[in-house]
Structure 1
Amino acid sequence: MTDPPSLAQTSWLREMRLQAVLTLLGWRGGEARVAGGAVRNALLKVPVADVDIATNLPPDEVMDRCRAAGFGVHPTGIEHGTVTVVNQHMPFEVTTLRSDVATDGRRATVIFTDDWQADAARRDFTMNAMYCDANGKVYDYTNGYADILKRRVRFVGDPERRIREDYLRILRFFRFHAHYGAGAVDADGLAACTSLRLGIEDLSAERIRQELLKLLVAPRAGETLKVMAEAKILHHVLDFVPEWEVVDRLPEDAILRLAALARSTEGLQDGLRLSNEQTKRLMALREAPEVTPELTTSERRRLLYDLGERTFIDAVNMSRARAEGKQDDLAWKVLAVTSKYWSIPQFTLTGRDLQGVGLEPGPAMGETLRALEDWWIASDFNPTRDQLLARAQMRK
């Protein structure tokens, strides 16, 4: 078993607000360690974002100590032993060591414990089951560091048992592999996920969406999705088209990559509980035409005006990912930044303006406004307001 290195010199661990919470919870028989993702990321040498803490203290004592110290305390998941502690605007999720009593594939009934190894044994993957104390010593009960060195995502203990505790772990397995893995997917984990894939059907759309969108922004999203499809797992997530290479060529944008992966936007909002804004973006992209660097300057401007900046950039990225030839072609890059050197103009003429030059209100006025806008666009947006009004008078 390879011993993990000390994390004593890492800047995130030396952060005084974190050290203050660890010291407070480690006082008089207490013990507190950073747990899970922060330790994993530090050992993988990737940025550490959120810092979670595990402790042998029961939740009530965690809250009492932290309130007495003047920290903010929020019992965000008290039934599972989790309290959010805020020290000078920096939040930490503090969770009491736990052991599962019963699980139903979606949630667990837990009891609190002071056994660190038991807490590690209930976690999903070995790389997520490590702890680090305030001095930087790493505690590895499941040989997770060896898996980190191999960049291998491996279930803690029996993969099928871990999955039956929460079927979301099937999707998490692939998500973590896409982000942190190297080489082939762990064979035992893949076999267990394949065998138990029907359990995905019992998960809520919200939980599936969260995992899928996180997977889609991973560096190895396309090849991982392909493995999921070959194992008949992706079929239980959404109706897809096998555009693996296109997905990987796109920027690491979940909605953009979802647009390439999904067979249709129909039913996607309800199926994945997407927000209205996410759905609107998907539909706009699906309706956008294919673009190419061969577009003339005036054609680019017209398309940018019709689509709006975000949809135009999405359409460029999608067309580029699906195009033959070099993806880093300078011409594509120039096309993508069209909006940086040409600001979308506003057509400001209104019905009141037309009344001012003698046109009567009614359906004909609406037709005139549309005709004027079409002429303005066809003229590369050059006609001035006075020229538009003069043309309107000619239509009286």
Structure 2
Amino acid sequence: MTRLPEAEWTRREDLAGLVAALGAENLRWVGGAVRDTLLGGTAKDIDAATTHRPEGVIELCRDAGIRTVPTGIDHGTVTALLEYGPVEVTTLRHDVSTDGRRATVAFADDWREDAARRDFTINALYAHPETLEIADYFGGLDDLVARRVRFIGDALQRIREDHLRILRYFRFQARFGDALDEQALAACRDLAGTLKELSRERVAMELLAILGLPDPGPTVELMQHCGVLAVILPEARAAERACLVALLAHERAQNAAPEAVRRLAALIPPVRALAEAVAVRLRLSRAQRARLVCAAERTPEDAADPRGLAYRESIDCARDRLLLAGKSLRELAHWEVPQFPLKGGRIIALGVAAGPEVARMMRAIERSWVAEGFPGPERIDALLEAELAAR
């Protein structure tokens, strides 16, 4: 019997309290924390499966002094708010009906039945909270060793249940895969068109998750080969995919952290209107949209004055544009965008009437200040004096 290696999270006192409240035989750790710990990585979110119904979880936790939030109670999920981080506790389930976007579920009592509705074998590993023994119903342990991402049961059926599993496959393949599972690839290829039926937010969430991985280049090419990329991002032609490859290499050379929106910018032509259209189509947040559009407005002149670019746009946009252009980030390293020190009130105090003239003088002095590399107060005084004299 394979046991989960002891990790920092398995020794958490607050988790022991949750186990005591629900009973060790009624609860199993499942999902990413189990998978990542078996791979020697660090667990992020802790998820649990339980035989208790949601109302029972709430009542037992309340009796133990543990606060809960019914985050997905219709689907059996209650979040326990523990000292060292929340834990999602979900009642064992099986699917009653699915339509590719949402599922109607019924609660179950059998661990294997619950495992059968999950997506990949490596995500269906259950660990006993006390003995740490692993229950593996579909060969997930062997797939972890082989670095193989494989759907549970029939891949076509799994995708028909939830079309987003196509993108989840490519994300997990990028993270954990080595050998390719031909059945999975064929199913993704055959059902790629079903991605059009999903909400744009769900598609964007998975696409950005893929692009935010350390090296999404090979996965993006695999998605293109399987006809998936053309469905969700038809703008990503061969030239744009080559731009992404070049960006990834330059990011590594510059020790730049992965940034999904910057990489999305590489996958679309640098045209403002097109970037805005993609942002709307993917329902990006306001901040993500602004960053994508700013990156799309890059020009060959950006590298001439990186700090001026950062001042005019933002430090993030300047980094994005420089990296997309294959330029150095040296001038922006350990540098903070300064605040323009001159206030309009000072100009008014020197006899200039409040209004457009003050604004014009402020803009003129600010342009000179930026062009000269953000000099100190004495230079601001000189620039102000020159503007006053010119009047």
Task: Report the equivalent of 1:371.
Answer: 364
Report 1:88-99 matches (<5 A). Answer: 88=83, 90-99=85-94
**Does the alignment pair 1:208 with 2:203?**
yes
Give the equivalent residue in structure 2 for 1:259: 265
Cα root mean square deviation, aligned: 2.2
Query: How far is the alpha carbon of 1:364 from its aligned partner?
Result: 4.6
Q: 1:352-367 to 2 correspondence within 5 Å?
A: 352-361=345-354, 363-367=356-360
Unaligned regions of 5+ residues in structure 1, if any?
324-331
Contact kept? 1:179, 1:220, Cα under 8 Å? no
After TM superposition, give the deviation of residue 168 of structure 1 in Å: 0.6
Question: Are positions 1:140 and 2:136 aligned together?
Answer: yes
Which of the residues 303, 311, 324 maps onto 2:309? 303
Which of the numbers 62, 68, 73 marks the counterpart of 2:68? 73
Q: Describe the superposition over 1:71-92 as per-residue Cα deviations: whole angstroms up to 9, x where unpaired.
A: 1122221221111122335311
1:122 aligns with 2:117: yes
Q: Matches of 1:67 and 1:115 in 2, distance apart?
A: 25
Deviations 1:86-117 (A, max 9, x none): 23353111111111111111111112111111
Letter in 1 for 2:284: L
| Distance apart, 1:350 and its partner CA | 4.2
The corresponding residue for 1:327 is none
Higher alpha-carbon deviation: 366-375 or 74-83: 366-375
TM-score calculated relative to the size of structure 1? 0.87
| Equivalenced residues, count | 373
Query: 1:361 Cα shift?
Result: 4.8
Q: Name the residue aligned to 1:276.
A: 286
CA contact (8 A) 2:247 2:324 kept: no
2:215 to 197, 201, 220: 220
**1:161 is aligned with what amino acid?**
Q
Hey, what's the Cα distance between the residues in 2 that align with 1:63 and 1:375?
A: 64
Deviation at 1:175, TM superposition (A): 0.8
Give the letter aligned to residue 172 of structure 1: R
- What is the deviation of 1:351? 4.1
Residue 9 of structure 1 corresponds to 6
Q: Does structure 1 retain, via aligned residues, the 8 Å contact 2:119–2:158?
A: yes
Matched, 1:316 2:322: yes
* Residue in 2 that maps onto 1:179: 175
Specify which of 6, 22, 26 is matched with residue 23 of structure 2: 26
Paired residue for 2:339?
Answer: 346
Post-superposition offset of 1:119: 1.0
Percent identical pairs in the alignment equals 40
Distance (whole Å) between structure 2 residues aligned to residue 24 and residue 352 of structure 1: 64
Q: Which residue of 1 aligns with 2:295?
A: 285
Give the equivalent residue in structure 2 for 1:248: 248
User: Aligned letter for 1:258?
Assistant: L
| Alpha carbons 2:112, 2:137 under 8 Å: kept | yes
Question: What is the TM-score normalised by the length of structure 2?
Answer: 0.88
What letter matches 2:145 in structure 1?
A: L
* Alpha carbons 2:307, 2:331 under 8 Å: kept: no
Structure 2 CA distance for aligned equivalents of residues 156 and 259 of structure 1:
35
1:167 aligns with 163
The Cα shift of 1:44 comes to 1.4
CA distance in 2: counterparts of 1:206 and 1:380, whole angstroms: 42
Kept after mapping to 1: 8 A contact 2:76/2:91: yes
- How far 1:306 moved relative to its partner? 3.0
C-alpha separation in 2, matches of 1:266 and 1:282: 8
For 1:18, give the aligned amino acid.
L
Q: Distance in 2 between matches of 1:68 and 1:58?
A: 15
Matched-pair contact (CA < 8 Å) for 1:8–1:14: no
Shift of 1:365: 4.5
Contact 2:5 / 2:38 at 8 angstroms: preserved in 1?
no
- 1:354·1:392 contact (CA, 8 Å) conserved in 2? no
Question: CA separation of 1:290/1:146 partners in 2, compared to 1, >3 Å: closer, same or farther?
Answer: farther
Deviations 1:129-184 (A, max 9, x none): 1100012101100000111111111000000000011001011000111122124x
Unpaired segments ≥5 residues, structure 2: 252-256
Paired with 1:378 and 1:78, the residues of 2 have a C-alpha distance of 58
Are the counterparts in 1 of residues 31 and 126 from structure 2 also a CA contact under 8 Å?
Answer: yes
C-alpha contact 1:150 1:182 (8 A) present in aligned 2:
yes
